[in-house]
Structure 1
Amino acid sequence: MDARIEVPEGGVLPADGVQPGDGGEEAAEVCIVGTGFAGMGAAIRLKQAGIGPVVLLEAAGDVGGTWRDNTYPGCACDIPSHLYSFSFAPKADWTRMYPPQAEIQDYMRDVARRFGLLPHIRFHAAVTACAYDAAAALWRVRCADGRRVAARFLILGLGGLSRPALPDIPGRGSFQGRAFHSQQWDHGYDLTGKRVAVIGTGASAIQFVPRIAPQVARLHLFQRTPPWIMPRPDRPIGPWERAVYRHVPGAAWLRRASIYWWQESLAVGFTLYPGLLRRSEQKAKDHIAAQIPDPELRRKVTPDFHIGCKRVLISDDYYPALTRPTVELVTDPVREITSTGIVTADGVERAVDCIVYGTGFRATDYLAPLRVVGPDGVDLNERWRDGAEAHLGTTVAGYPNLFLMTGPNTGLGHNSIVFMIEAQLNLVMDLLCRVRDSGARTVEPRAEVQRRFNEAVQERMRRTVWMSGCRSWYLDARGRNTTLWPGFTVEYWRRTRRAVPGDYLLDAPHPVPAVAADTTAVGGRADDAGRADRSESLIY
């Protein structure tokens, strides 16, 4: 398979049916920001429904979202491969039970080609601001390079794990060696024989630390809070097994369904009865005991909070890496970074050549630095200053024709986010079809409906393990969990299959459509193909 998608100079591929708008703007019925699972999934569903023209804006030079950006050593998914794909575009030839980054990225590129998305993508188009023009009933989207798009509907597929979080440590900018975040891995910098500091022991660090530990001269791993880590039941998927999934009817579906329901069963402990997780906690402790003989090191890596309160990780090689003589696990807090190293609270300075920040992402900053300004002139970032909220994590009162993919409280601690994205798309498509069929200009949720929904979410959240007292990236600055869905994914799927008409405001009929639907450009007939009943079950 080709290593990457070839993009002409300027980042624009020819787009049939998409014409320039007034004032140098490119006109579209729908503008999608981002080409990860969310953005590409939205574009595919729009094409199938005959809604268009569609323009996708992508800041980078390739599709893939987080799987394009994260290329650190050992990067892989922690959801089994057969579930980590679109239900309408299954992949029968995964090579491992847990897919590595490169294989997921190849899958994303293949999906873009297979569904004809490339002509509609504008690469190297970093969106900086979106403002709603109420008089024209259009979203006006501006890119950093001056390109502009005017669209009736705006879908933001930004991804919750796309903006790196760097720690606020005094002196961070003074370090004279090499420093980078794990998402921005410097593959041109040779770590061989170097003294390396890694700050953070989260999901990324437990994957790259075992890969670089044998290579470096010395590795100092700075840990604030140890994670709970379960065994990783990974293995290669052999040629014969892949052949079964390709050629035996129903085999791949059965595999996908079994994984889905196993993952879904974990929600019982996370969201309803946290006490059920005690067996999992003991299994994690047994994992530590089996892989770390030193009692002091075992003590350092054993969390003091309930399993599940923070993201549960999976690895079979992280703990053994910590036992290497060249690896030091440092649990004293970092006090400052100097020009030559890192000083901890006990006053000890460790000189290093390189610092790798495995400090995660700004998961609760859903939009920043992108500005999204509604018809009242208020930036959604400002409106969310005290906490992000949306109706069903998808639409926001006061922001007509705006749809958020993986928005507030749609993240998961137990199952595949691709499932949630497809469930969201059922709702988005149902709303778009209702607007089209009624001739309305705009759609948005009623403010009181959004308020009641989020009050119910937070009330349910109080009973979950995620609110059991630890500090995690699931929580915002006020301690509210605006990240995760507090229940089963099958419930979310049921609630998003069709919109409840009374929950939404559709305004007066649109006298002249901003952009006529171009069914030839998007390769489909404008009928009910976009409605939610196309996908009776996303595990199929």
Structure 2
Amino acid sequence: MHNVVIIGAGFSGIGAAIKLDDAGFDDYLIVEEGDGVGGAWHWNTYPGVAVDIPSFSYQFSFETRTDWSRVYAPGNELKAYADSCVERYGLRDRLRLNTKITAARFDDDGHFWRLTTADGDEISARHVVSATGVLTQPKPPAIKGLDDFVGTVMHTARWDHDVDLRGKRVAIIGTGASAVQVIPSIAPEVEHLTVFQRTAIWCLPKPDTRLHFPVRLAMRLPGVSRLTRLASQAFVEATFPLAAHFHTLVPTASIGERIGRDFLKRQVHDPVVRDKLTPRYALGCKRPSASNDYLRTFNRDNVLLETTSIDAITPNGVRTTDGTEHTVDVLILATGFKVFESGNMPPFPITGTDGLDLETWWDEHRYQAYQGVSVPGFPNLFTILGPYGYNGSSYFNLIETQMNHITRCLSHARRINATRVEVTAEANADYFAAMLDRRHRQVFFQDSCAASNSYYFDKHGDVPFRPALTLETMWQSARYDLGDYVFDELAVG
């Protein structure tokens, strides 16, 4: 039996393993469904894939790179960064690839977790760290006829590089973050591209540029590197945590909206197309994007923006509700991922103490977790990206903050020889109430978000982001009351 099993070898799992080593917990195993590490950067290889915050922030604070090729690094560099972290920190021999966890059950008598794999094996762990993320399971659209299409269908998250798009009639369903990157990348090579848009996305100018050798050389200077990261962190903090969670106090969204509308006006020539691309909701209600190429792609003669609702997928194309059928050779689904949905939260059945099912518990009590880490009734289970854990800043800030919380808890358990660690119902309830008490300040709960069709909202109508600045999350992870957990020792004999 391992002391800790980490589920997932994306950056969450990699960061969890490194932080466990730092805290002196070396008996751990990382299990990963895929055949490589990197999570989203292993699976997402579509044309144009890149990070959507500056690379200087999209990295571990303890493992910074100075050789990014661009301010917003392309996906292959993030994948290489993940591999380099695995090698540098000696994680490879504690990594088990091609291993999908299909169920987890807590053994009340033995104070450990039984993890079942897709192959029927069982892995035992005293503690489990769930590092599966949320943007991992592609979500096909609920459109009739999809299985009847005779051409090629692929989701952006499972791109088939054997498919040659040159000279093909291509349709893409969705205009979210991945579509914003794919569309300008493939438009020049296809014969015709039809973009099916349900809800327009806010697209802002992207402060991206190539980082030439002299710049990368200067970045090796400690002072320059630190200042660049500090500026990047401040930019990220201002554009989401501050703007979204303190919307009523710091109404910066109106400034961003003005920038977005001016940018749209400069980029798109046709006023009819421009109007279709204009969002009817406030900036921040749903995930915005930044691109210097996306909007102007709609000026191309071979690109059509279709905003009429889809009626059905036919064997040879896509039919809209007005009866128009668009003939298509290749259908690309840029329809995102299962996020706050059954089958993804949690990603497999998790049975806690006394047979308590996590999915059922969340259905009955709404998505909640103490600091996004722990849920009462599920001892020895810790989550990197649990409800009300992520504040919208750099995902790497989240990983390090949550692991500080987790290792602090595990270290205390080790000091007192505790084998069972569970957050109290009272502490969880107080934290959940505090999160809800702040929602009136967030942009999500203003009337302007009603038409956003945002995946930020879960089935309960909540937005399980942590409404706090990053410094607060860091402070709380290092100073929460250990009395919020109950620590028990396994009885002997």
Same fold (TM over 0.5): yes
C-alpha contact 1:76 1:100 (8 A) present in aligned 2: yes
**Which residue is equivalent to 1:130?**
104
CA distance in 2, matches of 1:270, 1:158: 25
Sequence identity (%)? 37
CA offsets 1:268-310 (integer angstroms, 9 cap, x no match): 3322235331111000000001111111011000001011111
1:472 aligns with 2:454: yes
1:85 aligns with 2:59: yes
Q: Does 1:37 align with 2:37?
A: no
Say which of 486, 494, 498 aligns to 2:479.
Answer: 498
Q: Which amino acid aligns with 2:234?
A: W
Alignment of 1:153-192 (within 5 A): 153-192=127-166
- The gaps in structure 2 that reach 5 residues or longer are none
Cα deviation for residue 434 of structure 1 reads 0.6
Write the letter of the residue equivalent to 2:482. Answer: P
Aligned to 2:229: 256
Per-residue CA deviation, residues 217-251 of structure 1 (Å, 9 max, x unaligned), is 111100000011110111111111111222x2322
Change (3 A) 1:201 1:130: same
> Post-superposition shift, 1:452?
2.0
Residues in 1 aligned to 2:432 and 2:425: alpha-carbon distance in whole angstroms: 11
1:421 aligned residue (399, 403, 416): 399
Structure 1 counterpart of 2:374, one-letter code: T
1:382 equivalent to 2:364? Answer: no
**Deviation of 1:455 (Å):** 2.1
Q: Is the 8 A contact 1:431 1:499 kept in 2?
A: no
C-alpha distance in structure 2 between counterparts of 1:343 and 1:221, whole Å: 13
One-letter amino acid of the counterpart of residue 377, structure 2: G
In the alignment, which residue of structure 1 is the partner of 2:274? 298
* Superposed displacement of residue 369, structure 1: 4.2
Counterpart position of 2:260: 284
Asked if 1:152 is matched to 2:126, the reply is yes
**DSSP 3-state at the match of 2:323:** coil
Q: RMSD across aligned C-alpha pairs, in angstroms?
A: 1.5
SS at match of 2:222: coil
Are 1:55 and 2:35 an aligned pair?
no
2:202 to 212, 228, 232: 228
Q: How many residues align?
A: 483
**Displacement of 1:462:** 3.1
SS in 2 for 1:83: coil
CA distance in 2, matches of 1:369, 1:422: 22
Q: Show the counterpart of 1:207.
A: 181
Shift of 1:56: 0.6
SS across alignment from 2:230:
helix
Equivalent position SS for 1:29 = strand
TM-score relative to the length of structure 1 = 0.87
In the alignment, the residues of structure 2 paired with residue 192 and residue 268 of structure 1 have an alpha-carbon distance, to the nearest angstrom, of: 43
Letter in 2 for 1:397: P
CA contact (8 A) 2:384 2:398 kept: no
Which 4+ runs in 1 deviate beyond 4 A?
Answer: none
Q: In the TM superposition, what whole-angstrom CA distance separates every residue of 1:399-425 from its partner, at most 9, and x where no partner exists?
A: 001001111122344x21110110011
Tell me whether 1:430 sits opposite 2:408 in the alignment: yes
DSSP-derived class of the 2:363 partner = coil
Partner of 1:350: 326
Q: Which amino acid aligns with 1:243?
A: L
Q: Matches of 1:376 and 1:206 in 2, distance apart?
A: 46
Distance 2:391 2:468 in 1: 9
Q: Is the 8 A contact 2:194 2:304 kept in 1?
A: yes
The partner residue of 2:379 within 379, 384, 400 is 400
Give 1:511 shift: 5.0
What is the CA deviation profile of residues 332-369 of structure 1, one whole-angstrom value per residue up to 9, with x for unaligned ones? 11111111111111111111111111011112134344
Letter of the structure 1 residue corresponding to residue 210 of structure 2 = P
Work out which of the residue numbers 293, 313, 321 in structure 2 matches 1:337. Answer: 313
Identify which range, 110-119 or 368-377, moves more after superposition: 368-377
Label 1:277 to 1:305 Cα distance change in 2 as closer, same or farther (>3 A): same
CA, structure 1 residues 233+460, in 2 after alignment: closer, same or farther (shift >3 Å)? same
1:323 aligns with 2:302: no
Gaps of 5+ in 1: 1-26, 514-540
Equivalents in 2 of 1:512, 1:252: separation in Å? 53
Give 3-state SS (helix, strand or coil) of 2:252's partner: helix
| CA–CA separation in structure 2 for the residues paired with 1:31 and 1:231 | 42
Residue equivalent to 1:538: none
* TM-score (structure 2 length as normaliser): 0.95
In the aligned structure 1, how far is the partner of 2:314 from the partner of 2:273?
27
